[in-house]
Homo-oligomer: A and B are copies of this chain.
Amino acid sequence: MSNSPMLSARAIALEIEAGRLTPEKALQFGLDNSTAKESKLNVFSHQPKKLTAGKGPLSGIAVGIKDVFDTNDMPTTYGSKIYEGYQPPTDASLVSMLRAAGATISGKTVTTEFAWFTPGKTRNPHNTAFTPGGSSSGSAAGVAAGFFPAAIGTQTGGSIIRPAAFCGVSGFKPSFRLFPTVGLKHFSWSLDTIGFFAASAADIAFVAAACSGRDLEVNLKSRKAPTFGLYKGSIDDQMSADMADALKRVAKIAKGAGAKTVNVRGPKAVEAARAAHAPIQGYEACMALADESTRNRGKLSKKLRDYIRECQQITADDYDNARRTANRGRKACHGLFDDCDVLLLPSAPGTAPRTLKSTGNSIFNQLWTLMGLPCVNVCVGKDANNLPIGLQVIAPFGRDKQALQAAHWLEQAIASQQD
């Protein structure tokens, strides 16, 4: 990973604080990388002509904004033809919070259509024949390619953890509603969760803490090894051979570095909640896109039109039942952590698929989005095609710092193995 073009937000901030780097020069690093590679990778849906440094803990830190967040000074399309040329009057709350902390918005990053499954134009920086994942495609690819040290995205199914895994960056899907969704274009409000991308768990924690004032920063000195729960779920047969190997290999590395591992069998109520994701997302999407799917139906992708039409069959009873199933699952989640600090699972079925017509499968993410638990993707190696393999660390609800700390520990354990 040492020849990675990724920029470390924490390292940049420390250099600036020490007077060894100006915020302007820091912003230039990312600009140089995007000048060199944007035409190949298509990270941005909009890039401003000039970047100006702000003041505060994130001064000199460029942040890519997934184009489902409103920005008052840049076009915002939500990945949809309907909104071509639209510029909202107001920044999304998280965009304002980032600016207030001194961050510079480096541009709007490509999203799939309304953060759902119709791909945008972004390619995987590790191999441009492969998908970067979605829906936060540009945010993940841009961090991987060193266009900006940090980016924000959203996850409704697997739209943070999956692209983070496919692009080999750290991705953080926080506890549900830890960060405000005001100014976000919703697809499914019970699921849409705002999160971050950066070069490492410590970098993500630094940016998330700086813009929110929350105690999220990773303790870099701590050597305390977490106990990892190896989650045995009903969909484990869907992981690739590479992914199954990676899980075993990483568990061994973790043990070698002093961690304990235990097997965790999914409680029935948690496993039952898997089936609740689809009706909740579908029922809400029909309402969230009620205007677009009536007045501007012709400007939706056929894929999304068909999805909305199907989902209109979901009844209020189906939806209410699914919400109850999800609530029972959430309550049962406490039991997951009886014998471990965090869970360790695949971030996706495998590495990025060789296609630009799909962003991959979110089956390993949907349940955890619905359960609202904090998830962090850790890049644990690469496959034969040079594509990153990602595992996710999952902590109890509200224990976001614990998830980030454990992900940091795992990153260190893997890095020392590679030395």
Interface size on A, residues (CB 8 A): 37
Check if A91 is an interface residue, CB within 8 A of chain B: yes
Which listed residue (B86, B93, B287, B292) contacts A287, Cβ 8 A? Answer: B93
The stretch among A141-149, A211-219, A236-244, A332-340 that forms the contact with chain B is A211-219
Check if A89 is an interface residue, CB within 8 A of chain B: yes
- Quick one: given A97-B290, A182-B186, A182-B189, are A320 and B398 in contact (CB under 8 Å)? yes
Inter-chain contact A212/B182, CB cutoff 8 Å: no
Inter-chain contact B291/A91, CB cutoff 8 Å: yes
Would you give the shortest CB distance from A324 to chain B, in whole angstroms? 9
Check if A284 is an interface residue, CB within 8 A of chain B: yes
- Quick one: given A287-B180, A290-B97, are A89 and B90 in contact (CB under 8 Å)? no
The answer for the CA separation of A372 and B11 in the assembled complex, in Å, is: 45
Check if A35 is an interface residue, CB within 8 A of chain B: no
Inter-chain contact B295/A72, CB cutoff 8 Å: yes
Copies in the complex: 2
The answer for the CA separation of A291 and B99 in the assembled complex, in Å, is: 10
Q: Within residues 212 to 231 of chain A, which ones have a CB less than 8 A from any CB in chain B?
A: 212-215
Q: Within residues 10 to 56 of chain A, which ones have a CB less than 8 A from any CB in chain B?
A: none
Check if A307 is an interface residue, CB within 8 A of chain B: no
Would you give the shortest CB distance from A338 to chain B, in whole angstroms? 21
Check if A358 is an interface residue, CB within 8 A of chain B: no
Contacts of A291 in B (CB 8 A): 72, 90-93, 95-96, 183
The answer for the CA separation of A284 and B178 in the assembled complex, in Å, is: 11
CB 8 Å contact bits of A172-211 with B (1 = contact, 0 = none): 0000010011110010011000000000000000000000
Check if A416 is an interface residue, CB within 8 A of chain B: no
- Quick one: given A72-B295, A213-B316, A316-B214, are A288 and B182 in contact (CB under 8 Å)? yes
- Quick one: given A182-B288, A189-B182, are A294 and B100 in contact (CB under 8 Å)? yes
Contacts of A92 in B (CB 8 A): 291
Contacts of A86 in B (CB 8 A): 89
Would you give the shortest CB distance from A284 to chain B, in whole angstroms? 7
- Quick one: given A86-B89, A214-B316, are A288 and B180 in contact (CB under 8 Å)? yes
Contacts of A95 in B (CB 8 A): 291
Contacts of A284 in B (CB 8 A): 180
Inter-chain contact B100/A290, CB cutoff 8 Å: yes
Residue of B nearest to A187 (CB): B182
The answer for the CA separation of A110 and B106 in the assembled complex, in Å, is: 38
Contacts of A186 in B (CB 8 A): 182
- Which residues in A have some Cβ–Cβ distance to B below 8 Å? 72, 82-83, 86, 89-93, 95-97, 100, 177, 180-183, 186, 189-190, 212-215, 284, 287-288, 290-292, 294-295, 315-316, 320, 398
What are some 7 contacts across the A-B interface (CB < 8 A)?
A: A72-B295, A83-B89, A91-B290, A180-B189, A180-B287, A182-B287, A214-B316
Nearest first, the 3 A-B pairs at minimum CB distance are A96-B290, A91-B291, A180-B287
